[in-house]
A and B are shown apart, each in its own frame.
Chain A
Amino acid sequence: MIAIENLTKRYGESTVVDGVSMVVEPHTITAIVGTSGSGKSTLLRMINRLVEPTAGRVLIDGRDTTAEPAHLLRRRIGYAIQGLGLFPHRTVAENIATVPRLLGWEPARVQARVAELLGVFQLDPAVFGGKFPHELSGGQQQRVGVARALAAEPELLLMDEPFGALDPIIRAKAQDDLLDIQRRFGTTIMIVTHDMDEAFRLASRVGVMSQGRLLQYDRPEVLLTKPADPFVSRLTGTADRALKLLSLTNVGELVEPGAAEGPTVPESASLRDALAQLVWSGAAAAAVVRDDGSAAGRITLAAILAHGRHAT
């Protein structure tokens, strides 16, 4: 668990981060969203002490982060940034091995970990291990950047706009990969982004920052249904908030017994995708199937519409 208590950063007269307090649940993805200059990157960089706070403190599992030298703290925390900062003079394998080597791992263990991570990110170690970063595509470089951040099995991973430079298709793939990685390793991830859709897609909790202050920090559906501040509703957007809300819930939660004539949707699809299928086909209900292909029941158009109705 990460407890951020009254964290403040001032540069001279200007306050960049203003008394932010929040608790990050372990083994989840938490997103901090804000416009540029909102202080979200500074907040993130105070957690691994790349920026030293003016006031306040950060506790990781109850331990103050200032209790050990900053560089030792950082070796336990993964860090991935926009532009990645891959070392251009080192191979992919050497880049990924950076922190394990700093921690003094046995060479055989380092090598095994590098091969494992390259495998996880669908990069053949025999092909990519010896390449230099400039020989990779943007998407491949991004995967190596995240693999490097995860190399020493950190319990916490900090990401600052890690997908900022990717085109939309590769970006969606990278987001799916990150969700897989989080499930696989159970890492606690804190990601900073200016893209609310990205935050909703990845995070179980989202914090909205503006002018150094944390305006609201809650589950995505609460941000949509009960925005605490006009800025939050402006950032989430009000025109399509019903559809956004539907995209946050899985079909499995509204499934009811019975069969349906209409199209077939998987249990793991979002309500938004199921609604799209029903509108497209003109049917009133769709059959729901589990991941293994067995029938789970049906979902009705009426149930989806009822779930999305919040206006009073």
Chain B
Amino acid sequence: MRYFDRLGTLLTCVGLAALVLLPLVVLKTNRILPGEPRSLLDVLPLWAGLGFYAVLALAAVTAVKAANARLRLAVALGAIAIVVVAVAAAASELTPLDNRVVRVSPGGAFWVLVIALGLLATDALTRLQPGPLVRVACLGAFLALVLGALASGYFDDLSIMREYAVNATRFAREARQHVLLAIGSLLAAVVVALPLGILSHRQARLRAAVLGTLNLVQTIPSIALFGILMVPLGALATALPAAARLGVSGIGFAPAVIALFLYSLLPIVANTVVGLSRVSPAAVDAAHGMGLTGWQALRQVELPLALPTILTGIRIVLVQNIGLATIAALIGGGGFGAFVFQGIGQTAIDLVLLGAIPTVALAFSASVVLDALVDLTRGASR
């Protein structure tokens, strides 16, 4: 029987439809006006335009007919590189020299193609079943490649990079703030949730109360939670000037980090309880029977065996926090969300993307790294 790939066929159809219906590049006379679509064949030299479509055709054939996962991965990654380079080249061609107003953006077809080819590559990578360390190494190589390409200046004429050039110093500051919000709230949550989970595991009555309360917290919409926190924190800052000097106020970093912290508790507490309850009772009984103290049994037997499940909870929280931290910008908490909301306010879609794309990349990287960590600990505790 001849090989026929269903996912590849679906992705090919999606890519084809996008190429027909949506523009690849959009030329705008300034950053907020809607642009007009340009065809790559008009912009690029004939050989380059035809070559571009030939590569996409090759990718389509591979996606539908090729069974070899390595080949699929190589073609998908190669095609992504070609799409990105072609659009950047078109941007350079379309941008007049010394013109800071005209913007060339990647169009809808560009994004659909990158996502479809990205899915094709991810699917091929999954079929290869790489070990956890290989996955992290692949991520590192990919990030290095992307950062290197951006630093080369080849993409500087693309609209997002123009937005970046304008906001470079602020970008570094918001990036730091975003990571601080996500990881700071996570660390604080681990410090509180781990002991809470251990106690809840041992006390059935406490468990019901804790999980019930945290479930309730989880259902409060994030914007509402910011609002709820604004009042007591504002009052606290007014009443205690010392607290205000430490940065506590109704808006800004403090309520944002507290809200993220509260959302982080449930997944870690719940996974700690589940992880501990799955530890073999015989192993725990033997540990106590051999003379390990309660603390030693917890540290040497129960926690190591529950670790993969607890880490899974931490992974959920980190990815969730990286996404939620964008909303912190609404109350002046900073982070990549600042670009997103500013972009929405100015109807400057490129500025929105300047905030959104790094957020997605950060969440994706965190998920890959922590997944690998979960696999590593699971391997050691079968």
**What is the interface of chain A, defined by CB distance below 8 A to chain B?**
48, 50, 71-76, 79, 81-89, 98-99, 102, 132, 134, 148-149, 158
Report yes or no: B280 in contact with A85, Cβ–Cβ below 8 A: yes
Check B39 for interface membership: any CB of A closer than 8 A: no
Q: A99 vs B300: C-alpha distance in the bound complex, in angstroms?
A: 13
- Which residues of B334-382 are within 8 A (CB) of A? 380-382
* Nearest opposing residue in chain B for A151, CB measure: B290
Task: Assess A88 versus B289: contact at CB under 8 Å? Given A81-B282, A134-B382.
Answer: no
Query: At the interface, yes or no: B286 with Cβ under 8 Å from chain A?
Result: yes
Question: Please, which residues of chain A bring their CB within 8 A of the CB of B290?
Answer: 74-75, 79, 98-99, 102, 148-149
User: Taking A89-B305, A89-B381, A132-B382 as contacts, is the C-beta distance between A84 and B286 under 8 angstroms?
Assistant: yes
For the complex, is B284 an interface residue (Cβ under 8 Å from A)? yes
Chain B residues within 8 Å of chain A by Cβ, number: 21
Which residue of B283, B288, B296 contacts A50 across the interface (Cβ within 8 Å)? B288
22 chain-A/chain-B pairs, Cβ below 8 angstroms: A48-B289, A73-B291, A74-B289, A74-B291, A75-B291, A79-B286, A79-B290, A81-B289, A82-B282, A84-B282, A85-B285, A85-B286, A86-B283, A86-B286, A88-B283, A88-B381, A88-B382, A89-B305, A102-B291, A134-B382, A148-B290, A149-B290
Known contacts A89-B381, A134-B382; A79/B289 CB under 8 A: yes
Report if B301 contacts A (CB, 8 A).
yes
* Cβ–Cβ < 8 Å partners of B300 in chain A: 87
Complex CA–CA separation, A74 to B289 (angstroms): 6
20 additional A-B residue pairs with CB within 8 Å, beyond A84-B282, A87-B287, A87-B301: A48-B289, A50-B285, A71-B291, A74-B289, A74-B291, A75-B291, A79-B289, A79-B290, A81-B289, A83-B280, A85-B280, A85-B283, A87-B286, A88-B280, A88-B305, A88-B382, A89-B305, A98-B292, A102-B291, A148-B290
Note all chain A residues with C-beta closer than 8 A to B282: 81-85
Q: When chains A and B are docked, how far (Å) is the Cα of A81 from the Cα of B381?
A: 21
Q: Which residue of B lies closest to A84 (CB)?
A: B282
When distances are taken between beta carbons in the complex, the residues of chain B under 8 Å from A72 are 291
Shortest distance from the beta carbon of A238 to any chain B beta carbon, whole Å: 36
- Within the assembled complex, what's the spacing in Å between the Cα atoms of A5 and B293? 27
Which of A86, A89, A99 is within 8 Å of B304, CB to CB? A89
Within 8 A of A (CB), among B284-329: 284-293, 296, 300-301, 304-305
List 9 A-B pairs, minimum CB-CB distance, nearest first. A85-B286, A75-B291, A79-B289, A74-B291, A85-B282, A89-B381, A83-B282, A85-B283, A71-B291
| A74 and B294 alpha carbons, distance in the complex (Å) | 13
User: For residue A158, which residues in chain B have a CB less than 8 angstroms away from its CB?
Assistant: 289
User: Is A99 a contact of B283 with CB atoms below 8 Å?
Assistant: no
Q: Bound state CA distance, A150 and B291, in angstroms?
A: 13
- Could you tell me the distance between the alpha carbons of A195 and B304 in the complex, rounded to whole angstroms? 36
Known contacts A88-B382, A89-B304; A99 and B291 CB within 8 A of each other: yes
Residues of chain B within 8 A of A149, CB atoms compared: 290
Interface centre among B283, B292, B300 (most CB of A within 10 A): B283
Chain B residues whose C-beta falls within 8 Å of the C-beta of A74 in the assembled complex? 288-291
Least CB distance from A219 to B in Å reads 29
Bound together, the chains give a CA A102 to CA B296 distance in angstroms of 10
CB-CB under 8 A from A85, the residues of chain B are: 280, 282-287, 289
A70 to B82, CA, bound (A): 70
Closest CB in chain B relative to A165 CB, distance in Å: 10
- In the complex the two chains form, is A81's CB within 8 Å of B286's CB? yes
